A = this chain, B = another copy of it.
Amino acid sequence: MKAEILTIGDEILIGQITNTNSVWIAQQLTLIGVNVIHMTTIADDELAIINAFNQALKRADFVFITGGLGPTKDDVTKKTFSKYFGVELILNEEVLKQVSSFFIRRGKEVSEINRNQALVPGGCFVFNNAQGTAPGMWMKKENTVFISMPGVPYEMMAMMSNLILPKIKIENKLPNIYHKTILTNGIGESGLAELIETWENNLGSKNIKLAYLPQPGIVRLRLSTFGPNLEELRKNIDDEIEKLKIIIEKYIFGYENYGEETPTLAQIVSELLRKNKKTVALAESCTGGYIASLFTNISGASDVFKGAIVPYTNEAKKNLLEVDESIFSSVGAVSKECVEQLAENTLKKFGSDYAVSVSGIAGPTGGTEDKPVGTVWIAIASHEKTLAVKFLFGDDRQRNIVMTSQTALNLLRKFILKAE
């Protein structure tokens, strides 16, 4: 089954709002095995809508339309809908009752403009809008079903989850779909591609698709497949992941399971700390508080996160974390010696089980021949030992901060796993 998502709304075309409806609809359809082949956004304009309908008619089994159903003047969707199907708009008594009770419950009168919400194209199947006033509509032309939904996200979501998706599942025997995503750190997209080339070339014969999803410091590898037997699909993907693990295990820090949200590295590390009943504290020089904010973004962070010091000057490194002044004049603040002292003293100051420290040159200025922009030292300390590692990232400041943070979190993850 192929679907197209059509969004109607000028506010999206001028970049004023992000089309989050399309993302959500695509997720829901993908999960029930409907293949989204096209997303389109057009203006509240009759000709544009009819052209888009004609295009969609050629390629999709289902067209999910959002937006353009409100009671105000600039919404032409419903009129165009009835015109496209060659039928009149007629008053639907059921919808009128629902719209009336919506306003009565709020102690308001139903205005003429709101009564118009009860006009629907003749012959269409109507979905009740439990959260608002604009009804959903389902009409078929040739082999394509056109489903119009309100643009207000929570109205659309309730209607789609409770009424539209069940109808589609019941009426169609959809293939099962399964996917799993591997989360990696420490290697770029092209580095991964070279390492796994042979493995990747074999996927096609197994009806498995691979996608590379890079972001700073992280590459996600998504494996997806479909077929009649869900258990078999799951097994096929798991088998391939086992083979892949032999090649790239050291870069893998987690998985995103079918139907779940992508865990962040901070979430994975926090869970690991919680499981082991351990805590962490940070000394962040070049990342300037970014790693702390990744931890504290997570609800319940105080169970595992004791705090951080951002010693942004040498003076602060010396006064707050007792780094030997001689280090600055001999090897400098971006050095093994400095991050080791930062991590060990952070451990003591906060009384945590682990400490992470980073010191580097985020850029764009401050680089030297010996220590170009992107040079970063990271240390992890526990009461047993201290590990320090040097990295060379790129020359973009924001990217260096993010890459340093992800890398430090993954180093901590591995450090904890070894200590378990």
Contact B30 A15 (CB under 8 A): yes
Q: A86 within 8 Å of B by Cβ?
A: no
Q: How many residues of A contact B (CB 8 A)?
A: 103
Q: A241 within 8 Å of B by Cβ?
A: no
Q: How many Å from the CB of A27 to the closest CB on chain B?
A: 3
Q: A154 within 8 Å of B by Cβ?
A: yes
Contacts of A292 in B (CB 8 A): 284, 288-289, 292-293, 310
**C-alpha spacing A396/B289, complex, angstroms:** 21
Partner of A307, one of B41, B295, B316: B316
Contacts of A28 in B (CB 8 A): 15
Contacts of A212 in B (CB 8 A): 70, 72, 74
Contacts A292-B310, A295-B288 given; does A25 touch B15 at CB 8 Å: yes
Number of copies: 2
Contacts of A301 in B (CB 8 A): 288, 312
Q: A11 within 8 Å of B by Cβ?
A: yes
**CB-CB contacts below 8 Å: A126-141 with B:** 131
Chain A 34-45, CB within 8 Å of chain B: the 1/0 string? Answer: 001111111100
Contact B20 A36 (CB under 8 A): no
Q: A82 within 8 Å of B by Cβ?
A: no
Contact A14 B38 (CB under 8 A): no
Segment of A104-112, A166-174, A336-344 in the binding face: A104-112
Q: Using A288-B305, A296-B362 as known contacts, list a sample of 8 further A-B pairs with CB atoms less than 8 Å apart, ordered by residue number in A.
A: A14-B27, A18-B18, A40-B41, A106-B374, A306-B312, A316-B350, A319-B350, A320-B350
